[in-house]
Amino acid sequence: MTSTPIPHIESLANPTLAAALQTRIDQKTKPLGALGQLETLMLRLGLILGTEAPALQEPQMMVFAGDHGLAARGVSAYPSDVTWQMVENFLAGGAAVSVLARQHGLALTVVDAGVRHDFAPRAGLEIAKIGAGTADALEGPAMSAAECSAAIESGRRLLRERPGNTVLLGEMGIGNTSSAALLLARLTGQDIRACVGRGTGLDDAQLQRKTEILAQVLDRHPEAQAPLEALAAFGGFEIAMMVGTVLQAALEKRVIVVDGFIASSAVLVASQLQPAVLERCVFAHRSHEPGHRLMLQALQAEALLDLGLRLGEGSGAALAWPLLQSACRILAEMASFASAGVSEKSE
């Protein structure tokens, strides 16, 4: 498969900076480790941004939307039209992610990566359509190798065009828990039955049917073993475009705030191409979708929130956002034992 070469993404390993950050954290007026995962987050943000005083600037919430040929097989509880209708809802300010982006001052961009609908151009919308929905993965690959490359390239470009040092990833696409489950199964060797979930709300019989269809899709593409081949075989356009955004953001050493199951599937693909991508990621929440737990395990990642969310859109990333800001503020503003005149632990 041809694809635009991604420069090698280097590890952020920096023992000197890591030690300086850890010392700074440990000297804060609190018992050692008492801020739990927030301390891990401080260390990570410091290493990504290459400073003892990380500050998050001009955060970009990017929501990638695409349609899925497989949706016609009945793998989702909602009709495909909901994809474009929700894009309109994002842009009109009425969706969960719109409300949360407003609450937290996140710049919201909705990306048409391949929705089966023609949108009128407007502010906040990037029309970067690769096609009018992917093909049916049960009949052939969801997209061609060329489409997959084009999607990745567009994802890179869209990120390059945006300011700031932080990107939050969300998505919308009726049928895309199927793509995520297929990528998880193929790229980590998990049994598809453990990777499939109810998505937007399937009942037991529908879940059974989804599982059977996805098992057939896997059987249909025995050759799609490598990350980009699997991505092309299983889709979707929005996931492929997120792969490009993740790679470019990692290359530019931006903080990547990963939403739920679908956004994580893009990180899974990207990290198999360039493992150091993972050092740039903050996983916002653990989805209610059962495959997400397996995916986070495969990525050796721990999520910040565990609120039983299963909405996507970037809603989990937006909800976790204040925790990232808190980590930076605590690092910058909290007193040390010495500066505050507080006694240290008795020995």
Cβ-based nearer residue to a copy of itself, 147 or 289: 289
Side chain identity at 224, as an amino acid letter?
Answer: A
Cβ-based nearer residue to a copy of itself, 6 or 328: 328
- 124 touching a copy of itself, by CB under 8 A: no
Q: How far is the CB of 232 from a copy of itself (least distance, A)?
A: 28
The SS3 call for residue 245 is: helix
CB 44 within 8 A of CB 51: no
Cβ neighbours, 10 Å, residue 70? 30
- 85 touching a copy of itself, by CB under 8 A: yes
Q: How far is the CB of 80 from a copy of itself (least distance, A)?
A: 9
Task: Quickly tell me which residue has 């909705």 as its tokens.
Answer: 110
- 304 touching a copy of itself, by CB under 8 A: yes
Q: How far is the CB of 196 from a copy of itself (least distance, A)?
A: 16
Respond yes or no on whether the N-terminal peptide bond of residue 236 is cis (omega within 30° of 0). Answer: yes
The alpha helices in the chain, defined as continuous H runs, are 15-26, 37-49, 81-92, 96-104, 145-160, 176-188, 192-195, 204-220, 227-234, 237-251, 261-273, 290-298, 315-333, 337-340
Structure tokens given for 30: 């609190």
Q: Which of 25, 45, 70, 95 binds a copy of itself (CB under 8 A)?
A: 95
- 105 touching a copy of itself, by CB under 8 A: no
Total residues interacting with a copy of itself, rule: CB under 8 A: 61
Torsion sign over Cα 291, 292, 294, 295: positive
Active-site choice (313, 333, 344, 347)? 313
Active-site residue flag, 171: no
- 122 touching a copy of itself, by CB under 8 A: no
- 27 touching a copy of itself, by CB under 8 A: no
Structure tokens given for 182: 């297929």
Nearest one of 141, 168, 143, 134 to 64, comparing CA atoms: 168
Torsion sign over Cα 171, 173, 174, 177: negative
Structure tokens given for 236: 């979707």
**63-82 residues near a copy of itself, rule: CB under 8 A:** 77-79, 81-82
Cβ-based nearer residue to a copy of itself, 188 or 336: 336
Phi, psi at residue 164, to the nearest 5°?
90, 170
Task: Give me the long-range contacts of 338-342 (CB less than 8 A, separation at least 24).
Answer: 338/27, 340/29, 342/29
- 100 touching a copy of itself, by CB under 8 A: yes
Q: How far is the CB of 122 from a copy of itself (least distance, A)?
A: 16
Cβ-based nearer residue to a copy of itself, 160 or 329: 329
**308-337 residues near a copy of itself, rule: CB under 8 A:** 308-311, 315, 319, 322-323, 325-326, 329-330, 333-335
- 307 touching a copy of itself, by CB under 8 A: yes
- 28 touching a copy of itself, by CB under 8 A: yes
Measure Cα distances from 329 to 24, 45, 71, 106, 175 in Å: 13, 12, 44, 17, 39
Q: How far is the CB of 312 from a copy of itself (least distance, A)?
A: 8
Q: How far is the CB of 333 from a copy of itself (least distance, A)?
A: 5
Q: Which residues pair with 65 in a beta bridge?
A: 112, 172
Q: Which residues are catalytic?
A: 313
Residues near a copy of itself, by CB under 8 A: 28-38, 77-79, 81-82, 85-86, 88-89, 92-96, 98-100, 102-104, 200-201, 288, 304-311, 315, 319, 322-323, 325-326, 329-330, 333-335, 339-346
